[in-house]
Amino acid sequence: MATAKSKNTTSNSRFLDEPLFPLEDAVQPISDQLEDLDLMVDTAKDNSKKPADGLTSNESAAIHLYTLQWEEPNVSLYTKLNNTLRSERREPLKPWFRYLKLILTALYKLPSLRTTVWRGVLGNLTDQYDENHIWWGFSSCTENMEIMEQFVGKSGVRTIFNIECINGKSIKAHSFYKKENEILLLPGIYFRVVGKWSPSKDLYMIHLRETPPPRPYLEPPFAVTSSAEPTSRSSTPKTTPKEQPKLTPKSIKKPPQYQNKELVEELENSQSNLWLDGRNLTDKDMQIVAYNLLRNNNALTHLYLYSNQIGDAGAQSLADALRENKTLTELNLRANEIGDAGAQSLADALRKKKTLNELDLSFNQIGDVGAQSLADVLRENKTLNELSLGANKIGDAGAQSFADVLQENKTLTKLNLQDNEIGDTGAQFLAEALRENKTLNELGLTYNQIEDAGAQLLANALRENKTLKQLYLFLNNNISSSLKDKLKKKDSRLW
């Protein structure tokens, strides 16, 4: 990862002149650089016969090939490619132009995600990051810190990057490792260094924020239309929430009049996992999902719908179906324009739900009213383990709702309230809850409005709470550096 100062910043645009080749032809010029490349290409193509996101089979396979791990001691394609991209010399990159054209064409067709991701590397890199920084290779990240820790470990000298990206690409539907929820950052990404610190011995943290570069370091492989603009998540304008009337449940026993043949076909061919991310699906499409899938599919366990436009009405359709479905264990509805009314509908459906373990409603428009409805569910629901509400509009009142229920709930292990509007008052309520709660393992409160007083109360609560493993708190800008340093030394569970 070279800095802008040390890297030859000549734009790598010559690959744009290459035509689009099938994958096996696109990698032909690099066949002498990688062992068993033909075998890996066959694997990628076999696993990409029904591509998602409107990609061709070759485009999806190009991403799949990038994610494949070669057996040691052989070097994997992603390692070889990224080492070449980071090199000072341009000549070794020429054989990669065909493959770059294909994989970048695929990636530019995917929605650009505005989200927060994590990346970990071995060693202490803090001295390399001062003000602005460019990453020249593809960078694999995750929105799940635990997944990141699986790669970098929890001991030894290591650097963890907390990255606010605006052009991340979710490649889960095209990856060999679908459970990793990988977000891929493209070459030439330009960062501003927001901060860096060391919360404990051998652990170094660097906070990066993607910003538009002074000039383009990577040209798009085709003319990008407005539909390729970043899907806004945390930047959604926040207004004072108003209580909205609950939507009336609708019957899903009759086929919807609205038709989407491509969606119906995909639903009919689905098995236990279904990814419908970034498809511009609306509330009408959710009627199709509810009727054709959740009611009639007896095998579906994981449904991923993040970065669509289903809104409150679409959430209502899904809620209607959830009442009848007996198999779903994970539902991801991130970035779907869902407000309080949609949250209330889902909450009503979950009261007696006995299978759902994970619900992700991050990057929506849920305020205190919706938060209260979802919190109340936890008094009755005995199966929900993970609830994510990051990047919404939840304030102190919403935090109090969760604090009240956490004092009695015995099933929730992870609660994400990051990037909301919670201040010291909300932190006080949550601190009181942590003194009583014995099941929560992880609580996310970064990017809120918590100051020193609230941070100290939460830290004090950890003296009595021995079950919480991670409390994400320090990326609240109003907490003083001196207090952060003091609290870090006392409790390694604070981040």
Report whether 453 contacts 478 (CB < 8 A). no
- Whether residue 14 is predicted with pLDDT greater than 70 in this model: the reply is no
**Mean pLDDT within 215-231:** 57
- Whether residue 285 is predicted with pLDDT greater than 50 in this model: the reply is yes
**Mean pLDDT within 433-439:** 92
Rounded CA separation 293/297 (Å): 5
Percent of the chain with pLDDT over 70: 88
**Mean pLDDT within 302-310:** 88
Percent of the chain with pLDDT over 90: 46
Cα–Cα separations (whole angstroms), residue 386 to 96, 330, 356, 415, 439? 42, 9, 9, 6, 12
More confident residue, 255 or 292: 292
Arch. (CATH architecture) of 14-215: Alpha-Beta Complex (3.90)
Rounded CA separation 22/185 (Å): 24
pLDDT of residue 232: 41
Rounded CA separation 158/141 (Å): 15
* Tens-place pLDDT, residues 82-132: 999 998 888 899 999 999 999 999 999 998 888 888 899 999 999 999 888
Q: Are strands 158-170 and 182-185 parallel, antiparallel or unpaired?
A: antiparallel
More confident residue, 234 or 288: 288
CB-based burial, 356-371: b 16+ in 10 Å, e otherwise: bebbbbbbbbbbbbbb
- Ranges assigned E (strand) in 295-397: 302-304, 330-332, 358-360, 386-388
Supply the pTM of this predicted model. Answer: 0.58
**DSSP-derived secondary structure letter, 278:** T
Residue 294 confidence class, pLDDT cut points 50, 70, 90:
low
Q: Helices 396-406 and 368-380 meet at what angle, rounded to 10?
A: 10
What are the structural domain ranges in the chain? 14-215, 261-490
Residue 387 confidence class, pLDDT cut points 50, 70, 90:
very high
Give the 3-state secondary structure of 74-92. CCCHHHHHHHHHCCCCCHH
Structure tokens at 292: 């054709």
Fold annotation for 261-490: 3.80.10
**Mean pLDDT within 438-465:** 91
CATH topology agreement for domains 14-215 and 261-490: no
* Secondary element (H or E) of residue 287: helix 283-289
What SS3 class is residue 223? Answer: coil
The number of residues making up the chain comes to 495
Average pLDDT of every residue of the chain: 84
* Secondary element (H or E) of residue 345: helix 340-350
What SS3 class is residue 28? Answer: helix
